[in-house]
């Protein structure tokens, strides 16, 4: 078994893991690992955008929209933290080179389902890729950060109730023992456990299994979100997401007779239920999504990736409807964490979809996931930074 000693080990290289690394002190040795290649992260797949509080007058409606979508089972403190931190996070992203859509030098905001007003920043229909790739580029510049690809966490090192690092396996079968002062789970969701999912298939909830084994507190494991609109296909593998922002811009859902049957801007779980009921009534495997009410110029500018992918599958969205079906999309439960992303085990943190800080409640509001991941990843990094400062002061 190969042995390593670092200051911080981060399991996962999506937005939460990358942003966490960027907010840690540059004199700390950081090791990041990912189960596949660097771009096979769900963070790269996020299409719609990232929510932000536009100004103080937006706070109440943003808070209410998030709570309502989550069936009021959200942790209010966490929702408040996310909303109040959101503008600072956007400033951070812009400083790292993230390019959000602008008009006359001002941010453009779009709206998605269950939002009472436009408050979503975006980059075409590949916002996740824009943010994640820019953060990854910044991390690669850090001489104190090392990244291991095709390396899977198999367990944690627990000593006297404290996490002291992880065990991992490399692609060639070599075993690693990585000792660390702090360990961060940022390993994504559970989509790989489902037949139909928008997630990469290697995301199978590994951190949850490790947490169960060590009696680390878990929360709301039944809170799984189904996205209403993925492109229907008979092919095996990951389902292609048709972003909620398409419906936010005016796309409508039709039954087999091309009749509209639901308000497309209702929360995701409500729209999903309506689609499933309509498919059962029609005896079909999908319903139709029409972009006929969206100007062609808007489709090509705002949704170029969706347009191109559908074209490859034989559908021209500027001229015809596309078949869509609900699929597993997001996990709102996970490893319980406090307001600083600390788990119930000392020196172990969890961020992103792996964690459950209560922001999303029982159903995630569209485009809240990127912001939630970034806010709480930074809080975890700040907490660890403060701990190091305190320890150094005590030994000085």
Catalytic residues, which ones?
268
How much helix, strand and coil, in percent to the nearest 5, is found in the chain?
35, 25, 40
Ramachandran region of residue 177, left (φ > 0), alpha (ψ -120 to 50) or beta? beta
Phi, psi of 180 (to 5 degrees): -155, 150
d(CA 21, CA 148): 14
Cα gap 284→329, rounded to integer Å: 21
DSSP string, 54-73: -SGGGHHHHHHHHHHHTTT-
CA-CA distance, 243 to 47, in Å (whole number)? 6
Kindly write down the DSSP assignment for every residue of 149-171, as one continuous string.
SSEEEEEEEEETTEEEEEEEEET
Instruction: Output the furthest CA–CA distance in the chain (Å, rounded).
Output: 75
Query: For 64-76, b where at least 16 C-beta lie within 10 A, e where not — what string?
Result: ebbbbbbeeebbe
Going from the C-alpha of 387 to that of each of 19, 84, 182, 352, the distances in angstroms are: 18, 24, 10, 21
Paired with 178 in beta bridges are 4, 166
**Residues 310-323 as b or e (16 or more Cβ within 10 Å = b):** beeeebebbeebbb
CA distances to 120, 153, 263, 269, 333 from 112, rounded to whole Å, are 8, 36, 12, 14, 22
Measured distance between the N- and C-terminal CA atoms of the chain, rounded to whole angstroms: 35
| DSSP type of residue 326 | E
CA distances for 118 relative to 213, 240, 386, 395, angstroms:
43, 25, 36, 51
| H/E segment holding residue 179 | strand 175-185
């Amino acid at each position: 078994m190969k042995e390593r000693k670092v200051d911080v080990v981060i399991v996962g290289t999506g937005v939460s893991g990358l942003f966490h690394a960027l907010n840690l002190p540059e004199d700390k040795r950081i090791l990041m690992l990912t189960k596949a290649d660097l771009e096979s992260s769900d963070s790269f797949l996020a299409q719609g955008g990232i929510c932000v509080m536009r100004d103080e007058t937006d706070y109440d409606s943003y808070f209410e929209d998030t709570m309502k979508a989550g069936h009021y089972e959200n942790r209010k403190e966490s929702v408040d933290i996310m909303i109040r931190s959101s503008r600072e996070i956007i400033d951070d992203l812009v400083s790292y080179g993230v390019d959000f859509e602008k008009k006359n030098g001002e941010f453009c905001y779009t709206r998605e389902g269950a939002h009472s007003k436009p408050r979503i920043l975006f980059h075409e229909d590949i916002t996740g890729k824009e943010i994640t790739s820019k953060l990854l580029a910044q991390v690669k510049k850090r001489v104190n950060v090392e990244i291991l690809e095709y390396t899977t966490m198999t367990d944690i090192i627990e000593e006297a109730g404290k996490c002291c690092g992880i065990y991992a396996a490399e692609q060639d079968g070599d075993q690693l023992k990585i000792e660390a002062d702090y360990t961060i789970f940022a390993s994504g969701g559970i989509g790989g456990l489902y037949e139909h999912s928008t997630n990469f298939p290697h995301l199978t909830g590994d951190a949850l299994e490790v947490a169960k084994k060590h009696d680390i507190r878990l929360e709301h494991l039944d809170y799984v979100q189904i996205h209403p609109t993925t492109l229907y296909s008979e092919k095996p593998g990951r389902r292609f997401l048709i972003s909620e922002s398409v419906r936010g811009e005016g796309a409508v859902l039709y039954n087999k007779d091309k009749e509209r049957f639901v308000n497309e801007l209702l929360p995701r779980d409500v729209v999903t239920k309506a689609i499933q009921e309509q498919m059962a009534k029609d005896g079909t495997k999908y319903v139709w999504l029409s972009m006929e009410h969206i100007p062609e110029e808007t489709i090509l500018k705002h949704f170029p990736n969706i347009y191109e992918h559908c074209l490859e599958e034989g559908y021209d969205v500027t001229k015809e409807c596309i078949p869509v079906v609900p699929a597993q999309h997001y996990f709102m439960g996970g490893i319980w964490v406090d307001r600083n992303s600390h788990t119930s085990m000392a020196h172990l943190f969890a961020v992103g979809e792996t964690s459950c800080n209560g922001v999303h409640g029982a159903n995630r509001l569209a485009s809240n996931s990127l912001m939630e991941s970034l806010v709480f990843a930074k809080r975890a990094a700040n907490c660890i930074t403060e701990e190091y400062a305190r320890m150094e002061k005590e030994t000085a």
